[in-house]
């Protein structure tokens, strides 16, 4: 069977269009949101639907397999048992969501100067250069990320997850704490002054650890210490829990001290997140 | 590939590919999954396998679409995934063969080849275009970390190739025609 290959002219045209898109969307204040706004309207519900379908199918099959042993013994109760288990599973999801919301209420009292918006993780990251994850909060929810404005993202236990990278109409992309492009000014909890930097590191990413560097001499950092945000820089309020020190690295040549931090947030297993919106910050593109 | 080359109408084809894209993309980026091992990269291998099995414009088009999905879902910018997908789809189309033996040989070569090329190029790009130029980044470290996870990535992508082939077989399966022996007797 002879199949037609695309014409050279079309390939060249498409390549030029893609390169133009790449340049345009890499610029600050670019057209990236316009492309994604329309696409997201159709695609996000489809993905959520497919994922919900997969979840229910998984629940159904696991319920069936668990009931198989009982089937031989108590044939009468089989259907009832299966239904009850199915119901429990659904209720467990509801209880989990309720717990997350309850925790969010505590979060609200802690960061009272901020508006807290709760959302759900739509998808995880894919790999290098495709390393952001997406949440279902966007400009419609009052989140306007610009080149000089971002928002902290927390989990329900008040732990830092990352910050927003871009916002579209109904969704946003999150730069996670472990990413090599992420950094935050931090300090040892309950200590005054002596701020240092915590950042993602390629070297420790696979071990699910962050690196604390630029630690001033004499800073009392010990294994097990809780590291929190210092509040410097304006983006993150003071006191957000980042993680705990698991290892101290001393460079004998430069006499510099570094520390490995295990994030408190279970980044890989996140389902719900909370975005802190500080309305006192300059609004940028808001309302446009 | 002869087994999955049933000619169907354009709308049937669109339906098959749309379902394939939504199911595979959702599975690949399902939150909370693939925590212990790397996720099979369906969106990377889709244009390769469609190009190898269906040739022509289908690999090229699917490369563009699946690349756009990559960009949309978790890309730092738009276009990179599309460009990569387009190139993979075009290359795969060049290697199309109706001979099953040749097809399998090429698939087994191209699957790890494309994975390796993708991983290396993306590692290099993430060094050349860092997220925050103010933060230290080492190319050696990036390459080392990439190589450490490579065997598992290759394994996951071979699994992805098998799954995609299975879905394509479901969508485009063609029964072999029975040839009657018409040779005259006597």
Q: What is the pLDDT of residues B81-103, one digit of tens each?
A: 999 999 999 999 999 888 888 99
Substitution target from A15, A49, A185, A202 for chain B, most B beta carbons within 10 A: A202
Q: Hey, are the CB atoms on B72 and A40 less than 8 Å from each other?
A: yes
By percentage, how much of chain B surpasses pLDDT 90?
42
Q: Hey, are the CB atoms on A126 and B71 less than 8 Å from each other?
A: no
Residues 135-174 of B with CB under 8 A from A: 135, 137-138, 141-142, 145-146, 148-149
Q: For position A88, what pLDDT does the model report?
A: 82
State how far the Cα of B164 lies from the Cα of B43, in Å rounded to an integer: 10
B31-40, pLDDT tens digit by residue?
A: 767 667 788 9
H or E element at residue A153: strand A152-154
Q: Where are the alpha helices (DSSP H) in B29-177?
A: 42-54, 56-74, 80-94, 100-128, 139-172
Q: For position A27, what pLDDT does the model report?
A: 75
Average pLDDT, rounded, for chain B: 86
A1 contact B CB<8A: yes
**Tokens standing for residue B144:** 């080392």
Q: In the 8-state DSSP scheme, what is residue A184?
A: E
Dihedral in degrees, nearest 10, Cα atoms A273, A275, A276, A279: -160
Residue B157 pLDDT greater than 90, yes or no: yes
B19 contact A CB<8A: no
**Tokens standing for residue A288:** 């446009």
Q: In the 8-state DSSP scheme, what is residue A114?
A: S
The size of the A-B interface in CB pairs under 8 A is 169
Residue B185 pLDDT greater than 60, yes or no: no
Rounded to a whole number of angstroms, the distance from the CA of B92 to the nearest CA of chain A is 11
Q: Hey, are the CB atoms on B126 and A128 less than 8 Å from each other?
A: yes
Rounded to a whole number of angstroms, the distance from the CA of B152 to the nearest CA of chain A is 13
Residues 53-112 of A with CB under 8 A from B: 54
State how far the Cα of A30 lies from the Cα of A21, in Å rounded to an integer: 10
Residue B163's contacts (CB-CB under 8 Å, 6 or more residues apart) are: B24, B40, B42
CATH 2.30.42.10 fits A183-264, yes or no: no
Substitution target from A129, A199, A251 for chain B, most B beta carbons within 10 A: A129
State how far the Cα of B13 lies from the Cα of A3, in Å rounded to an integer: 15
Q: Hey, are the CB atoms on A35 and B75 less than 8 Å from each other?
A: no
Neighbours of A39 (CB within 10 A): 14
State how far the Cα of B80 lies from the Cα of A18, in Å rounded to an integer: 8
Neighbours of B18 (CB within 10 A): 12
pLDDT per residue, tens digit, chain A (288 aa), is 556 677 888 899 999 999 988 888 887 666 566 777 778 878 888 877 877 777 777 777 767 766 666 666 666 676 777 678 778 877 777 777 767 776 666 666 667 778 889 898 988 888 888 889 999 898 888 888 887 888 999 988 889 999 999 888 888 999 999 999 999 999 998 777 788 999 999 889 888 999 998 888 888 888 999 999 988 888 898 889 999 999 998 877 667 789 999 999 988 788 889 999 887 665 544 433
Sorted by where each begins, the domain ranges of chain A are 32-110, 183-264
Rounded to a whole number of angstroms, the distance from the CA of A71 to the nearest CA of chain B is 31
The stretch B118-124 carries a mean pLDDT of 92
In angstroms, the Cα distances linking A163 to A179, B84, B165, B169 are 11, 28, 38, 42
Binned at pLDDT 50, 70 and 90, residue B177 comes out as low
Find out whether B10 and B56 touch, Cβ atoms under 8 Å: no
Q: Hey, are the CB atoms on B76 and A131 less than 8 Å from each other?
A: yes
- Report residue A121: phi and psi, to 5°: -80, 125
Burial class (CB in 10 A: 0-12, 13-18, 19+), A20: exposed
The stretch B108-119 carries a mean pLDDT of 94
pTM: 0.79
**Tokens standing for residue B143:** 């390459």
State how far the Cα of A281 lies from the Cα of A114, in Å rounded to an integer: 11
Q: What residues does A248 pair with on adjacent strands?
A: A259
The stretch B111-119 carries a mean pLDDT of 94
Rounded to a whole number of angstroms, the distance from the CA of A75 to the nearest CA of chain B is 35
Handedness of CA A99, A57, B72, B126 (dihedral sign): positive
Sorted by where each begins, the domain ranges of chain B are 2-29+38-172
Dihedral in degrees, nearest 10, Cα atoms B121, B127, B131, B137: 150
**Tokens standing for residue A104:** 């969010």
Q: Where are the alpha helices (DSSP H) in chain A?
A: 8-26, 32-73, 78-110, 202-205
């Amino acid at each position: 069977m002879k199949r037609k290959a695309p014409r050279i002219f079309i390939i060249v045209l498409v390549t030029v269009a893609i390169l133009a898109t790449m340049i345009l969307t890499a610029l600050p204040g670019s057209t990236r949101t316009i492309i994604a706004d329309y696409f997201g309207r159709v695609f996000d519900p489809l993905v959520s639907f497919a994922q919900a379908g997969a979840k229910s199918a998984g629940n159904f099959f696991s319920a069936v397999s668990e009931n198989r042993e009982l089937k031989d013994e108590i044939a009468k109760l089989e259907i009832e048992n299966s239904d009850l288990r199915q119901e429990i599973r659904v209720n467990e999801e509801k209880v989990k969501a309720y717990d997350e919301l309850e925790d969010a209420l505590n979060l609200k009292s802690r960061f009272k100067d901020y508006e807290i918006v709760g959302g759900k993780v739509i998808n995880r990251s894919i790999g290098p250069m495709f390393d952001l994850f997406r949440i279902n909060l966007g400009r419609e929810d009052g989140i306007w990320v610009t080149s000089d404005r971002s928002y902290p993202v927390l989990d329900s236990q008040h732990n830092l997850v990352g910050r927003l990278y871009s916002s579209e109409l109904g969704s946003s992309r999150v730069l996670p704490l472990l990413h090599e492009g992420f950094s935050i000014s931090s300090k040892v909890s309950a200590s005054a002054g002596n701020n240092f930097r915590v950042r993602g590191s390629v070297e420790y990413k696979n071990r699910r650890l962050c690196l604390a560097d630029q630690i001033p001499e004499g800073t009392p950092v010990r294994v097990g210490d809780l590291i929190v945000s210092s509040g410097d820089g304006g983006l993150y309020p003071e006191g957000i829990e980042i993680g705990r020190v698991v290892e101290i690295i001393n460079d004998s040549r430069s006499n510099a001290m570094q520390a490995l931090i295990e994030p408190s947030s279970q980044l890989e297993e996140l389902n719900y997140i909370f975005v802190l919106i500080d309305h006192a910050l300059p609004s940028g593109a808001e309302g446009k | 590939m002869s087994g999955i080359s049933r000619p169907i109408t354009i709308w049937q084809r669109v339906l098959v590919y749309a379902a394939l894209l939504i199911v595979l993309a959702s599975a690949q980026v399902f939150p909370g999954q693939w925590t212990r091992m790397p996720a099979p990269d369906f969106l990377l291998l889709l244009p390769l396998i469609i190009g190898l099995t269906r040739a022509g414009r289908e690999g090229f088009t699917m490369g563009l679409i699946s690349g756009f999905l990559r960009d949309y879902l978790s890309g730092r910018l738009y276009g990179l995934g599309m460009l990569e997908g387009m190139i993979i789809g075009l290359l795969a189309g060049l290697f199309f063969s109706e001979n099953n033996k040749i097809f399998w040989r090429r698939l087994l070569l191209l699957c790890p080849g494309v994975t390796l090329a993708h991983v290396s190029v993306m590692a290099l790009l993430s060094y050349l275009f860092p997220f925050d130029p103010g933060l230290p980044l080492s190319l050696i470290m990036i390459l080392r970390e990439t190589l450490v996870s490579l065997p598992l990535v290759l394994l996951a992508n071979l699994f992805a190739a098998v799954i995609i082939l299975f879905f394509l077989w479901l969508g485009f399966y063609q029964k072999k025609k029975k040839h009657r022996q018409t040779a005259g007797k006597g």
